[in-house]
Amino acid sequence: MAKIPYLFLIALLLLGSFNLHADNIDKPELDASSYLLIDFQSGDTLVEKNAYQRIEPASITKVMTAYVIYQELAAGNISIDDDVLISQKAWEMKGSRMFVKLGKKVKLHEMLLGLIVQSGNDAAVALAEHIAGSEEAFVARMNLVAKELKLNDTHYENVTGWPSPNHYTTASDIAKLAKYLITNFPEHYKTYSQKEYTYNKINQRNRNQLLWKDKSVDGIKTGHTESAGYCLAASAKRNGMRLISIILGTNSSEERTAYTRQLLEFGFRFYETHLLYKAGSVLTEARVWKGNKNNVPLGTIDDLYVTIQKNQYKTLKGIMEINTGIDAPIKRGDVLGKIALTYNGKVVREAPLIAMQNVDEGGYWDRVIDSVKKFFD
């Protein structure tokens, strides 16, 4: 059987989550345009409605704005101590603002707080101009990063979330971006739990009301325009299990808060997440023909999690399918089979089995002898 490129299969595993809807659980039905609840570690979908429908994200856009800034900080292209000049365009921005003054220079770390805690449109534009020279150039970078992260139903027209015909995303893409944010920039993510920020003697509270109502919630971002409705991307962690909730298109800030809380309580009440295999674990081995070794160890490169109904973990059944007729040479990382886990007869997780070592071609007589053995085998 042909060897399958590892990166292709692992991308399918990470980006294609399994839907764990169960017949014996009443799932929340909410009056929102779309919503989604996933487990952070496994990526499994617990609840969804129109999760792949393109919608207007409002200020949830600023999650990507911040993500690009974090990349620039990590690359050393900018510093948190940079002075950010407030342009006429930034100063004139409408909607939510941190109220920076025209022509003033403000430290970048202060601007980031204004962007995240106060959802400042003025901060978003000023930061974009500081990094890329113009908002338009920064938006081009946002769209490039969206493609790199496989946010296939996302396109940005500005850094603020201001309504625009070609400015859209989906609940699914927002959840993916949230996972990347929490995974790649954990230190910056801590800012999303900050409840208030004072700048220019003006104190503003974070619009994510769940930060006051649920201690397990530590982010992420609200959004609102007349056309988008009230939106909220949230994340919470309890007893080592993290959930990500996306609510889009509700009628009020109270609704988006209540609906998000309902989704999170549902997920934590009825589901649990388990680590099946740790990264680098050797699980089995495969027969190799015509090589300098007869067998190659197989395992997983990444941690493998599954989310399942509570008290049902023992009912999971696992099957390892190993390719036959494998010829050397083998490179570490080649996909030589898969693990399939089933629950109530349905596959709930699949993952590739990866060669954990290289196997070179054997000598001439090794290849001849193995060719005969393989024919009869």
Per CATH, 6-15+278-376 and 34-273 having the same topology is answered: no
Q: Please say if 227 is a catalytic residue.
A: no
Q: Between 271 and 6, name the one with better pLDDT.
A: 271
Considering the candidates 17, 33, 34, 62, report the single residue annotated as catalytic: 62
Inform me whether the pLDDT recorded for 250 exceeds 90: yes
pLDDT tier at 350, thresholds 50, 70, 90 = confident
Inform me whether the pLDDT recorded for 233 exceeds 90: yes
Question: Is CATH 2.60.410.10 what the domain over 6-15+278-376 is classified as, yes or no?
Answer: yes
Q: How much is the pLDDT for 265?
A: 97
* Average of per-residue pLDDT across 129-138: 98
pTM of the model: 0.87
- Each domain of the chain, given as residue ranges in start order, spans 6-15+278-376, 34-273
**Core vs surface per residue 193-228: b (16+ CB within 10 A) or e:** bbeebebeeeebebbbbbbeebeebbbbbbbbbeeb
Considering the candidates 33, 59, 87, 245, report the single residue annotated as catalytic: 59
* Average of per-residue pLDDT across 295-313: 90
State the sign of the Cα–Cα–Cα–Cα dihedral 149, 152, 158, 163.
negative
Considering the candidates 33, 34, 96, 119, report the single residue annotated as catalytic: 119
Per mean pLDDT, which range of 9-18, 22-31, 77-86, 201-210 is the poorest? 9-18
User: In this predicted model, what pLDDT tens digit does every residue of 7-44 receive, in sequence order?
Assistant: 333 333 333 344 544 446 889 999 999 999 999 999 99
Q: Please say if 235 is a catalytic residue.
A: no
Q: Please say if 119 is a catalytic residue.
A: yes
What would the CATH number be for the domain defined by 34-273?
Answer: 3.40.710.10
The type of residue at 195 is K
pLDDT tier at 364, thresholds 50, 70, 90 = low
